[in-house]
Chain A
């Protein structure tokens, strides 16, 4: 069984994000500001869990992005992926369709049984790359999945989370595309020996410039800060003073 896991490198949004005027995407920052998209960590873990219990599973971890994206591919290798692929592309922002298009090129060359991706990337928040891939590859798809179970007859059963605390159980034939939601598993830490082994492995780099690109279907205009300004009261002063003020407020509102 061959599994492709799509992994994105995203910027850490806990940090201040300073925009220069006219910027259409998040400005490039130092290496330390980037990490693996957390939903992709769950997708990778789901693949590794399948590999743990089924003999002969081969995992390809792929990332589309600039040079720095090789870091998350290496990280995936150190967690147990067998092959690392970097589809190098410096354009930003890429539309979800452009990203999916590039991944499709690679997927077509390989005959995967299962393609996994995170349900959403934490930077672009489009929730589309997975289902677009499925559409481009003409494969069945399930999104927001918290468990993948191999069933008889080349099929999988998945638990797909709906909004409002509902879960849908779906059976789909393989090959298929599944996007993974957080919470269904606990992503592992790489073992030291795996980290060492991953260092030896070569990551295959494919230049996106050598591939046909999707015709753009939307134009990205300059980014802005949200307009919803702060309406509330910022408590000021020392920590003691802030605590006193908050108690006064809660008491005044008869909450305490």
Chain B
């Protein structure tokens, strides 16, 4: 049996990442709604139950690939295992979620089999020339169109670019074919020891109705009081930050919003001096209302903002707080 597309799912300690399922939507879009030639690849130490449930839920064929060294992510090992699976099922397109670890696996696989590997794919065009994949460059300011010229293509798909698939109507009864594979003779010289969760307490961004967020555009740590002051005007507000702000230790890591920070869905998100990189935007997809303040009229954050203020935050934020006090403090 051969398949056109292989979707590599992510597990950590045998738990499936929910977002991995977005790949199913991506593959369906490429196959014009038809996923019958799509094969799922589920790696882990003990993922039998997860795999069966997935085959039942999605009706898709699935390779349950067991290896005791797959409790924690191990791209080096994963690459070797995927290669075995590819030799058997001959897919022409291999898809991963765009994570740093998966970029590593994709790169290693590309070199091993002579495939093209295109990362952080957001969309695609299928026409008489074949597939063209679209991705952001320059922090999201421009879009690059890349066309693979090899017979096999590997892509990593940006998290959130495709939605989660609808749950299949129950009782459909079409369970996908299960392939159980283990390759105990394959080993890796990289040894993952453990996975730790960042437990730094502090900012309770998840519970705040309003998040006033600082970006690198604040320029200096000394500017943070401008944001804190503004936050104090709202009933349940917190101060958030982009990664560079936390990297510079202007705010603790618990304030960071984005793929490597927190995912939040406040009623109001006010982005101050934040450019709107894909990694940051991934954390605020659920925000109900976004206000962006930025000096750059072409800032990417404006493409997701509900209200756009093209201005210098150093002047605008104090003025906003001042006008608020003028208006409401006497009531």
Which A residues are closer than 8 A to B by beta carbons? 11, 13-14, 16-17, 19, 26, 93, 96-97, 119, 122-128, 130-132, 134-136, 140-144, 157, 160-173, 179, 181-183, 186, 216-235, 239-240, 242-244, 246-247, 249-250, 253, 255-256
Closest 3 CB pairs of A and B: A135-B111, A131-B107, A221-B145
Chain B at the A interface: SS class: mixed
User: Within 8 Å CB of A227, what residues of B?
Assistant: 143
* 11 more A-B residue pairs beyond the given contacts A128-B117, A143-B104, with a C-beta to C-beta distance below 8 A: A17-B141, A96-B117, A125-B136, A127-B103, A131-B75, A181-B260, A218-B118, A221-B147, A223-B144, A243-B320, A246-B291
User: Within 8 Å CB of A217, what residues of B?
Assistant: 110, 114-117, 148-150
Which A-chain residue is minimally distant from B198 (CB atoms)?
A165
**Other-chain residue from B111, B137, B300 in contact with A124 (beta carbon distance below 8 A):** B137
Which B residues are closer than 8 A to A by beta carbons? 12, 72-73, 75-76, 99-101, 103-104, 106-108, 110-112, 114-120, 132, 135-150, 159, 188-198, 209-210, 233-234, 243-244, 246-249, 253, 259-263, 267-268, 275, 278, 289-292, 296, 298, 300, 302-311, 315-316, 319-320, 323-324, 327-328
User: Within 8 Å CB of B110, what residues of A?
Assistant: 97, 132, 135, 217
**Other-chain residue from A166, A173, A179, A240 in contact with B196 (beta carbon distance below 8 A):** A166
User: Within 8 Å CB of B135, what residues of A?
Assistant: 125
A-B residue pair count with CB separations less than 8 angstroms: 260
**Other-chain residue from A124, A131, A243 in contact with B316 (beta carbon distance below 8 A):** A243
User: Within 8 Å CB of B327, what residues of A?
Assistant: 247
**Other-chain residue from A122, A131, A226 in contact with B104 (beta carbon distance below 8 A):** A131
Which A-chain residue is minimally distant from B210 (CB atoms)?
A255
Known: A246-B309, A255-B210. Contact between A128 and B119, CB under 8 A? yes
Question: Min CB distance, A58 to chain B, in Å?
Answer: 25
Q: Which of A96, A97, A162, A227 has the most CB of B within 10 A?
A: A162
User: Within 8 Å CB of B260, what residues of A?
Assistant: 161, 163-165, 181
Known: A135-B107, A136-B111, A216-B149. Contact between A166 and B197, CB under 8 A? yes
Asked whether A163 lies within 8 Å of B150 as measured between CB atoms, the reply is no
Q: List 28 A-B contacts (CB under 8 A).
A: A16-B296, A125-B139, A127-B120, A128-B107, A132-B111, A135-B111, A144-B100, A163-B259, A166-B198, A168-B73, A182-B247, A217-B114, A217-B117, A219-B149, A220-B144, A221-B132, A221-B144, A223-B143, A224-B142, A224-B143, A233-B306, A233-B307, A234-B310, A239-B319, A243-B319, A246-B320, A256-B234, A256-B324
**Other-chain residue from A11, A93, A126, A172 in contact with B120 (beta carbon distance below 8 A):** A126
Known: A126-B119, A221-B147, A247-B320. Contact between A230 and B190, CB under 8 A? no
Question: Min CB distance, A118 to chain B, in Å?
Answer: 12
User: Within 8 Å CB of A164, what residues of B?
Assistant: 259-260, 263
Known: A143-B100, A219-B149. Contact between A123 and B198, CB under 8 A? no
